[in-house]
Structure 1
Amino acid sequence: MMSNLLEIRNISKSFGHKAVLKDVTFNVPAGLIVGFIGDNGAGKSTTFKTILGLISQDRGKVKIFGKENLDKHIKFKEDIGVVFDAMNLPAHLTIKQLNHVFKKLFGAWDQDHFYRLVHSFSLPMDKKVNTFSRGMSMKLSVAVALSHNAKLLLLDEATGGLDPSSRDDLLNELKSFVDKSNGGILLSSHIMTDVEKIASHIVIMKDGEILLNEEKDKVLESYTVIDVDEGQLAELDEEIVLAKRNHGSYWSVLVSDQQKLPNGVTANTISIEEISVFLTRSEDIERSVTD
């Protein structure tokens, strides 16, 4: 059994009367990158904050490295690398000065690796961090997260503000981190191609609920959207219908297994992006799909 670095079980959270997370469950196993997809306001950042214990859930459990309440296990803090959309790095310092800070802060700080990443991300060593663009700050945050031998990376919109070639460099570094360390990554993004490029697992969230939690390859091989009339719709096996939309004379239906389609119904090839848009825009979600 592959070990889970992160387990989220039935997490719910409300602010006042507004339910922000509704019974959220998914895992980040060792050696895998999980792409966490959803529109702004879907609950992704709240999920991250709950994982990190920055806010407390109303119900449910978060386990990191098999333990709850990570605050009590300070020695594990180093094992998590975190990048949030707005990172707070000491603004008045240069990268060179930051390196000294992190050397003291992290027992497992790897200066050579850090400098290699800084170089590969084309970041200036002697400029103060507060002069950095948003994209540069993101790259620096990722370089830091990747340089203290963490086992689990939590990256919330970490490719935000980056041009395509910088995004590529960053994604390649994330991939090589997982390959080398057998670590795990939870990567939230609304840039679908990033997720599709490196994630092996896809979790799609809408309005605080998980609509899809599945291996990427399985989604790409088996899932499809079909257009059918009322008669054909009635013939579909309910088990495979995930969501449907009415277009007047016909229905578009997202199904999870194109092998089970009735004769005469043709399957279209479909990208993760199209599936995500279909799920998050659909008026009738049959039920959430879990593994």
Structure 2
Amino acid sequence: MNEKAIELNHVRYETKHFSLEDIHFEVPKGYVTGFIGANGSGKTTTIRMIMDLLQPTSGDIKLFGQPMQTDPVGIKDKIGFVYSELYLNDKWKVKKAEKLIAPFYSQWDHELFMDYLKRFELPYDKKIRELSTGMKMKLSLAIALSHHAELYIFDEPTAGLDPVVRNEILDIIQEELLDEQKSVFFSTHIISDLERIADYIVHLQDGHIIVNASKEELLETHHLVRGDSTDLDDELRQLLIHCVEKDGIYSGMTKDAQTFHELFGQRVTISPMTVEEIMVHYEQHKKGVMNHDNAH
């Protein structure tokens, strides 16, 4: 991967109750990188460090190849940011919000903003508190998309939205950002959202990264294998990521489907997996490993 919009190098963050361990990934330019993890896994903390709102205990973070501190105004000018909640005074009208936000961005585009309001059916003259949750999210998006940013950071933009609005928001993100030069970092706990729009996936669990790969690679290399438990020996068990055995039948995820196929032929069934299934297997596997470690 060539140019990177965001890089995290061996970042650690610790508080009394929570720690992020050796967080290491990058967001390549021109692609959508999905950042997945259950609520409380550390996604928002990571995003706050990227935005320089929290300082890592160690490691370094770069945006467009440089630390935020070197040029905070210039770097933030190039970022379109959407929080899961709208951080605007709800007594303001949309009109006033634009008036106060516009000066922060060198390329604020009033025409474009009005276009988005029209498209999203958002009133320019209404108070923010009169808008529904879905409308507030669309307003956040309209703001983020109206200053010709190069990088978009979305923190759970579809949380709490009904499926119709969620689909609409995903469509917008996909359509608007297909321009090759735009980069997107999209955090969510809803895996099916990523299945649709992500090129790369970073999966955070309990402060550790458990998956960091392209979606294509994940779908190509992971398969579900099922067969007779008596066929399994220790060596084959090692090739299974989270294996469940019931009534003499085992079922597990593997990156070595070919091996099982060569050994057992028709005796095993090998099937493709969705991103969601792959992620769930990794989560279960990690839990199993941690429970095993804690038991010792």
Q: Same fold (TM over 0.5)?
A: yes
Relative to the length of structure 2, the TM-score reads 0.87
Deviations 1:241-261 (A, max 9, x none): 444455585544322343343
Relative to the length of structure 1, the TM-score reads 0.88
**1: CA distance between counterparts of 2:180 and 2:163?**
26
**1: CA distance between counterparts of 2:233 and 2:171?**
42
Map 1:116-135; keep pairs closer than 5 Å: 116-135=115-134
User: Do residues 37 (structure 1) and 40 (structure 2) align?
Assistant: no
Unaligned 5+ runs, structure 1 = 287-291
Deviation at 1:181, TM superposition (A): 5.3
For 1:79, the equivalent position in structure 2 comes to: 78
Greater Cα offset, 70-79 or 81-90: 70-79
For 2:281, the equivalent position in structure 1 comes to: 278
For 2:294, the equivalent position in structure 1 comes to: none
**1: CA distance between counterparts of 2:258 and 2:128?**
54
For 2:63, the equivalent position in structure 1 comes to: 64
**1: CA distance between counterparts of 2:224 and 2:41?**
23
Report which of the two structures shows the higher radius of gyration computed on alpha carbons: 2
Map 1:250-261; keep pairs closer than 5 Å: 251-261=250-260
Unaligned 5+ runs, structure 2 = 291-296
Q: Sequence identity, in percent? A: 31
Map 1:256-267; keep pairs closer than 5 Å: 256-262=255-261, 263-264=263-264, 265-267=268-270
User: Do residues 189 (structure 1) and 188 (structure 2) align?
Assistant: yes
For 1:172, the equivalent position in structure 2 comes to: 171
SS in 1 for 2:270: coil
**1: CA distance between counterparts of 2:77 and 2:218?**
34
Q: Per residue, is there more helix in 1 or in 2? A: 2
Moved beyond 4 Å, runs of 4+: 245-251
Letter of the structure 2 residue corresponding to residue 279 of structure 1: Y
Letter of the structure 1 residue corresponding to residue 14 of structure 2: S
Q: Is the 8 A contact 1:279 1:285 kept in 2?
A: no
Q: Matched residue pairs, number? A: 284
Aligned in 2, Cα 1:19/1:103: closer, same or farther, shift over 3 Å?
closer
For 2:206, the equivalent position in structure 1 comes to: 207
Deviations 1:148-205 (A, max 9, x none): 1111111111012322232222212212333225111111112222111010111111
Letter of the structure 2 residue corresponding to residue 236 of structure 1: L
**2: CA distance between counterparts of 1:149 and 1:247?**
55
